[in-house]
């Protein structure tokens, strides 16, 4: 599926948590990629916000190093990179206090689109939203972007939505799962609903089971404090892997628009079977000769938070009844990979010899 370049108006983007892991690994490299695709006007500005004191030039160097290390393109266009870095600014702001908010309000332009990317923990969403309102920084046209986790359970998610709705209307709030931006994930819809090759076979009559795996070679790194409260289940399964499961299992939407796609995803989620305890495996990466253990990375010697989880579940509807879905994800694994394996049923009789070790 080819990318479609949509014209974008000049904007000011403020990234709260602008020095954090998500900003360095995903947001800044992603913005640079859009800049190289001529989708960010040069008059736009990107403002990093965090509690660390940095000069503007220091933040530009941090962004340069992040883009160089984490960009999908191994060869960086240095001319484009220099122009992109000129768009960056930085302000130290206390999300829980009053320091820095006045300066931020003076920097953000009211005559252009402004957006606020909350790349911080959900406990700060309400604090930031209230101060954007208190200091008259946000406008009725502003947009606020929040990343997972949207709370840690149903109750906290509802509370979070209620808090945000005090300061922003629903059409101003963008809940983002950056995993869905991956090209292969976006192509799933085209593979399933853009041709007739797979649709006749996409059911329990022909499919034996489905595996959805996301393996990482890195540990929790500097995210230990956050990760130890979430674990692999909340960090990966209930958002990224569940979205992949929905895209694989959903019925064709009546139209290709957000509401229609959402409705079909909800049907899948409502049809999910309860997960039995014996269908779950949890684990932590351990100490090796060259690598720290999870407990060392998390700085919690008594932690039982999982860095690996595997789950067996089913979708109880006519299309998928009896087909197991295996979800697995973990950190510090041997290989870095993201894959969906559709395993079809065996033939009643195969004329070919099985390979050694094959069941």
Domains of the chain: 11-176 (3.40.50.720), 180-344 (3.30.360.10)
Q: Is-above-0.85 flag for pTM?
A: no
Q: Which of 84, 52, 58, 57 is nearest to 71 (CA)?
A: 84
Write the burial class of residue 130 (CB in 10 Å: 0-12 exposed, 13-18 middle, 19+ buried).
Answer: middle
- Annotated catalytic residue, options 53, 240, 278, 302: 240
Q: Are 280 and 294 in contact (CB under 8 A)?
A: no
User: pLDDT category, 4, cuts 50, 70, 90?
Assistant: low
pLDDT at 353: 82
Average pLDDT over residues 137-150: 90
Residue 110, SS3 per DSSP = coil
CA dihedral 235, 241, 242, 246 (to 10 degrees): 160
Q: Which of 61-75, 152-166, 272-286 has the highest mean pLDDT?
A: 272-286
User: pLDDT category, 5, cuts 50, 70, 90?
Assistant: low
pLDDT digits (tens, 9 = 90+) for 79-124: 999 999 999 999 999 999 999 999 999 999 999 999 999 999 888 9
- Distance between CA atoms of residues 198 and 250, nearest Å: 14
pLDDT at 302: 95
pLDDT digits (tens, 9 = 90+) for 208-227: 999 999 999 999 987 888 89
- Distance between CA atoms of residues 25 and 247, nearest Å: 25
- Distance between CA atoms of residues 90 and 256, nearest Å: 39
Q: Is the pLDDT of residue 44 over 90?
A: yes
Pairing of strands 280-283, 207-215: unpaired
String of b and e for 5-39 (b: at least 16 CB within 10 Å)? eeeeeebbbbbbbbbbebbbbbbbbbbbbebbeee
Residue 240 appears among annotated catalytic residues = yes
Cα–Cα separations (whole angstroms), residue 267 to 228, 270, 315, 316: 31, 5, 10, 10
pLDDT digits (tens, 9 = 90+) for 250-286: 999 999 888 899 999 999 999 999 999 999 999 999 9
The tokens for 260 are 């229609």
């Amino acid at each position: 599926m080819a990318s479609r370049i949509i014209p974008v108006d000049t904007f000011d983007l403020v990234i709260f948590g602008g020095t954090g892991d998500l900003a360095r690994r995903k947001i800044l490299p992603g913005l640079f990629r859009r800049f190289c695709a001529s989708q960010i006007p040069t008059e736009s500005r990107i403002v990093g916000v965090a509690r660390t004191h940095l000069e503007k030039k220091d933040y530009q160097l941090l962004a340069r190093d992040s883009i160089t290390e984490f960009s999908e393109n191994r060869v960086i266009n240095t001319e484009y990179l220099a122009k992109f870095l000129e768009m960056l600014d930085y302000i130290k702001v206390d999300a829980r206090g009053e320091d820095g908010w006045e300066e931020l309000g003076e920097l953000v332009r009211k005559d252009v689109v402004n957006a606020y990317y909350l790349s911080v923990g959900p406990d700060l969403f309400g604090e930031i939203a209230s101060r954007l309102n208190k200091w008259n920084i946000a406008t009725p046209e502003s947009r606020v972007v929040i990343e997972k986790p949207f709370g840690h359970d149903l109750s906290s998610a509802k509370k979070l939505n209620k808090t945000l709705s005090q300061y922003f209307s629903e059409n101003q709030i963008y809940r983002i799962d950056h995993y869905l931006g991956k090209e292969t994930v976006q192509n799933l819809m085209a593979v399933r609903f853009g041709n007739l090759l797979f649709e006749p076979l996409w059911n329990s009559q022909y499919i034996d089971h489905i595996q959805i795996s996301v393996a990482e070679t890195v540990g929790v790194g500097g995210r230990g404090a956050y990760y130890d409260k979430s674990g692999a289940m909340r960090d990966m399964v209930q958002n990224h892997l569940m979205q992949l499961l929905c895209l694989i299992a959903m019925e064709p939407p009546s139209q290709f628009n957000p509401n229609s796609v959402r409705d079909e995803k909800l049907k899948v989620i409502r049809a999910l079977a309860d997960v039995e305890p014996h269908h779950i495996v949890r684990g932590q990466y351990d100490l090796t000769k060259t690598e720290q253990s999870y407990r060392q990375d998390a700085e919690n010697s008594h932690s039982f938070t999982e860095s690996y989880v595997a789950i067996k579940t089913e979708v109880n509807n006519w299309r998928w009844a009896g087909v197991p879905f295996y979800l697995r994800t973990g950190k510090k694994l041997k290989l870095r990979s993201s894959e969906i394996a559709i395993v079809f049923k065996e033939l009643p009789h195969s004329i070919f010899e099985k390979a050694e070790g094959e069941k």
